[in-house]
Structure formats: structure tokens, C-alpha cells
Structure 1
């Protein structure tokens, strides 16, 4: 099957692309992915070059893989740096590679976009030949959903990798106190104390949707976001233009909470909503306040999810400190196709051992959860 390749989503109409995207998945929408490109958050100089693979027949888009040619492994959250280092020592070219993922967002969801399963499978079957023709070492599909997993499990040469994140589940709580009542006494007191410490510093919170922020407020949001990278002496992935463009294109999905001391904003958390899920994405502050991170990033999001009937709160990758605040371990999956047979054999062996460790860790992590034992 001949593949069609797009180096910019602007080359395809939003309604055509979005027809393949589930309505509850904001990160795959044309508006989100094209904003990354049009804001110069992606591009050759960033090491991310859009290379979306399409199955088109009789002028109709039947399936797609939102993909990027990569010259490094940053911003992916499925870490293969060790594989690249091993290749460098062995004289094997690991870059460029092909990545199917949402840039800078470790959010599980659809990766193989197709109205019919057979169209998606046909697109997947063309990938190995495409890698060879293009001289790409490998293909990686990160944070997949059940549909993509089912399609890949039967494809020759693909290796599955699992990881662990922490998500909070809204079990029909009436309010935050109802959630606290589900916790052990010690953990309940700890959370109350953390929230009281923030309130005692004179900090209040204001929730805004995308259309409610003006450019001065977006300046503040970006300054906070960029500061989280600056303190680690890193450059931020996203540009300032990303936030304003996204607010124009999909304001209904954006939620920003501003932490204010009096009338002065001091911190923010930027999130997206889709379907029954709340996705915490970016956080930052311009001054240090005790426990403000936990309140702004976690407790405020829980409050919002409960008030608006959202069932799941995905607060991003990593962070064992989420466990004691009620975020439960969740297994994530990614898939990897490596052309070099020696590398494939070594990685396959590594993944088998890693999977055993990850599953054991996820089970053990449940013991750190704060919920009362029935």
C-alpha cells in the first residue's frame, strides 16, 4: 500500500482528520497537533519533524498515524536513551527514528486512527517497508489505547513495553470531603493540613476556560510554565505562541487555575478536558509557597473533577508522591519496531525483565495508597 506523508497538518482539512479521532480525545485533534506545528514548538531545529503517515484511497482519508521523525529522544516519556547509547557504542545508527505519539504529553489514547480496523492494519503493515526506504532505524508508538494494542499484538516484529503512571478515579464523590472520608484517618489529616497551610498563606484560586484568559494572563501562564524548565537549566518545549493559538482553536477544552495571593497571581496549572477525563498538563510558580504545588496541581484538579462529574484525573507521568494523595498505579503500553536484528534481540530480552519489575512495582505501589481498608 502506498503511504501518503504529510510534513504539516495544515495540508489536510481539520474535519477530515478529526473524523478519525474520538470526540473525547483532545490531544489528537487537528487543532492541538497543528498548534504544536504552527507555533514552532516543533520543527527541524527542535529535533521533531512532522511526518504523519496516511492511508488514502479514492481521495478519502481512511487511516492515519500522527508521527514525527526524531533526531533525539527528549519529550517522549518512554525512555530509550540507553538503547541509543548502546547503538552509539556498537557503531549502529539509531537516529533518525520514527515516533508515533503526542509530543511532550505522556497521555494514553488512540495512535492508530482508523474508521475501520482493516484500514488501520493495512497502514501498520506498510511501516516496516517505509522505515527501510527512508533509512529510519526504528518505529515507536507510545502510550497506546486498547484498539492500537490489539492491532499491534498480531504484527510481526513489534515489541511491547509497559510503564506505570498514577491516575485518580472519581468514585462518585459528592465533594472533596466525601473523598477525604474514604481515606485512612492519618492520610485524611495530612491532606487537610496541606490545604490549610496553603489557605493560611492567603492564597485563593480562580478557574478559567480558554476563552476567558486575555493575553496578559497567557503571558503569566507561559512565564510560570517556562520557569519550571529554567530552574532545571533547560529550555521549555513549548513556545509562547502555542498557548494563544490553542486558546483560539480549542478554547472549550482548556482549563487554567490561577493561584492568587490577594490580587496577585503567583502560580498556575494548565489542563485539558475531554469526555469524562481531566488532564493535568503544565504547572509553574513565580514564588515559593509551602505546599502550593500539591494544592494547585492535585487538590484543585480533584475538586474540579468532582464538581463537574469527571471520572478520571490524569496528572501526567512519574511522581510517586501522587500515590499518597490517592492517585492509583495504572499500566501504560508502548510498541517498538527495531530494524537491526541484534538490537531487537537485546531489547526484547531487556523488556521481558523490565516488564516483570514494572508489574511487581505497580502491585507494591498500591500499598502506599491512602484509602481505608474495608
Structure 2
């Protein structure tokens, strides 16, 4: 594989490929990110560095990073991280069937190249660039790298619109999936009851019943934001998070060290809800915020977004998951003027709780021509299925008047 490779391309542009985020200028990377219309905190240098330094996303866990830097006369013009993957875990856009088909024909699907944020199915910019032309140069460089390294394919997950345009120019196919997001409809709800008033009677009744069950069980919540989240709170959250994974027979993707690094380097981007009963903490949900992206850009039109990320409980209480992961965060978003709450990957149950379906898109290229053609046909049929699925969801809007796109 290429290590610390420098390649000259046309018009004095140079591509550098580095093996670790520690080799990348954090200030230059973040400055490039904050110029993107779909910037998220998950592409900050601190986040990617924490994944690597904590051992969560490293060659030992099947994530070998390659940081691509497109420079011209010493200026960073575009950048991205590409992971060489030896499996398909932690991606949330599933290609197990493609890998199986390769194996059945005696071909190696792994390693493959993945342009994504490990374990983080949040749509946003993947190719950081000053201009769309720079972004297209970077996309071309990624494809060239994959071809020269004889990788099976290149995949970019939950990409931004600008990224998709750049990848499409390089011949990548597009694949659609569905997530569920909540919108604080302009000019913004005046309170949680005002939000409920927009729902159909049955959905409004259901949410109130679920919330009442939690309250009647004697559960209350306290919320901490940013530096208000204490070390003890972070430790309690991790106990809950780890318990949830272990109960399902899996070790968590993220370890204590990762979250300790988040508390140290990106505290402003986190919001914690702790459920308590009889003075004892029993559950927690951790929400990410785009605080750092919004503040640095200094623009009144920046959309403030909250991202539902992790949760866990030490005790079982009926409907506690819904309260901790949806209703408490939505009430907080309304009270604090956040325009959107992203509920994460999958989950039709979110529709009944007023998170509406949105289409997310990934880009794909396979080196083997026959498989690329077969996948193209498959994706065409899948897109039709996605449209039918969205149409069915339209028929079950939780709102009095249709608000689905």
C-alpha cells in the first residue's frame, strides 16, 4: 500500500497520502470543514483522531486510514479520509450480499476503500474542498488510488450533495437509503404541546401515554450540555452504553478512551440526558450537536442540528427508550431553537413519533466491470423499491396535514 505518498497532478496540484490523523494539520483540516454547507462535527479532526488514537478505528480493527490532502502551492485545497476495510461492520449501508457474490465467484471483495466516518451514519460532507473543481480533483484522485492499489471498489457513505456530484463525475453509482429526521417547522414550535397539537389525535394520544408511563414510574431527567457534563456523568453514560451492546451479545464499537477524548477535545458538541429514579441514575442518552460548526461560521442562517447517537439503561422501564432518545431531545431542541433532530439509521417506529423519512445517498464503484454492471441493475430496482417505500410512509404521516417530501 502507499505510505506517505506524494503525487503531482495537473496545474501544480499535489496529492499527499498520510497514514494517521496525527500527521494532518488539525487547524487546516477544520478550517476546510467549516467552509462546507453540510459540515458535521463528525468530520472534525478531533473526532477522527479520537477514533484512531483510542484504537476504535485502526488497522487492528479493520479500518486502515489514508488521509488524502490536495494542495496547491502549499495551500490545502481539499481533503478527505479513506479507510481500507477488511470487513463491512460499522457502516450502516449494507453490502454483505455484494461481498458474498464476489466470494461465490472466487473474487476478493476485501480490502475495499470506504470514504465515510466509522460507526457514524450521519449525512454530511465527506470531501472537504474549497471549490467544486477541487472536490472533483479529489474524487478523481481517490478513484485513481483504488485502481492503482487494485482494490475491489470505492464507496462513499451518507455523502453530501456536492460530494455526490463529484463522485458522479468520476462514474460512481448512487444508492439510496432512508432515515428519519424531525424538523422544527419554521418559525419554530413555541413548546412541546404546540408541536403535539400538529399531530393527528391518535399519534398525540400515543405520545402522551408513553410519556405518562415514564413519569408514573417515578423517572425524571436532568440534562447537561458541553462542559457541564461531569466525568462521573461520562462514566455513567458509558456503563449504560456498554450494557446495551453486551445485552445484544456484542462488544461496543466505541470504548471509554474514545468518549474521554470527546469530553476533552469536543465537549461543546455533546448533550447528555440522564434518567433518574429515587435519586439513582438508571439510563442515559447522548446527543451530538453541531455547535462547533455553527459557532465558527458566524452566520445567522446556519442550521442548528442535533443528532441522536447513543443510549443505554441499567433498569427496564416501559417506554423509557422513547422518552430518553426522542421526547426529551425534541423538547430540548424546541426550547433551544434547534431546527433539526436526526434520529439515526433505520427505525420505522420513529415515524409514529414525528420523525419523517428522508433519503440519504451513497456512491459506489466496483473495479470488476461485470459486477459493476450487475450492481447498477440492482440499484435501479432498489431505487424503485425505495420510492414505493417512501410512498407507503406518506400514507402514515403523523401530522394532521401532509409534511412528507
TM superposition outliers: structure 1 runs of 4+ over 4 Å: none
Partners of 1:121 and 1:38 in 2: CA distance: 30
The Cα shift of 1:253 comes to 0.8
Partners of 2:314 and 2:254 in 1: CA distance: 18
Aligned to 2:331: 303
Query: Does the 8 A contact of 1:225 with 1:282 survive in 2?
Result: yes
Of 223, 231, 247, which aligns to 2:247?
231
Deviates more, 1:57-66 or 1:170-179: 57-66
The Cα shift of 1:184 comes to 1.1
Map Cα deviations across residues 108-140 of structure 1 (whole Å, 9 max, x no partner). Answer: 000111012211111111223211222211110
- Are residue 253 (structure 1) and residue 251 (structure 2) matched? no
Partners of 1:36 and 1:273 in 2: CA distance: 18
- Under a length normalisation based on structure 2, what TM-score does the superposition of the two structures give? 0.90
Partners of 2:52 and 2:66 in 1: CA distance: 11
The Cα shift of 1:223 comes to 1.2
**Structure 1 stretches of 5 or more lacking a match?**
none
Deviates more, 1:56-65 or 1:192-201: 56-65
Aligned to 1:8: 20
The Cα shift of 1:305 comes to 0.6
Partners of 1:8 and 1:210 in 2: CA distance: 27
The Cα shift of 1:321 comes to 0.3
Query: Does the 8 A contact of 1:205 with 1:259 survive in 2?
Result: yes
- Under a length normalisation based on structure 1, what TM-score does the superposition of the two structures give? 0.97
- Are residue 359 (structure 1) and residue 375 (structure 2) matched? no
Partners of 2:279 and 2:381 in 1: CA distance: 53
Residues 1-374 of structure 1 mapped to structure 2, 5 A cutoff: 1=9, 3-22=15-34, 25-156=40-171, 158-171=172-185, 172-274=188-290, 275=294, 276-373=304-401
Query: Does the 8 A contact of 1:198 with 1:295 survive in 2?
Result: yes
Partners of 2:260 and 2:278 in 1: CA distance: 26
Query: Does the 8 A contact of 1:327 with 1:369 survive in 2?
Result: no
The number of residues matched between the two structures is: 373
Partners of 1:126 and 1:187 in 2: CA distance: 49
**Structure 2 stretches of 5 or more lacking a match?**
1-8, 295-303
Query: Does the 8 A contact of 1:41 with 1:239 survive in 2?
Result: yes
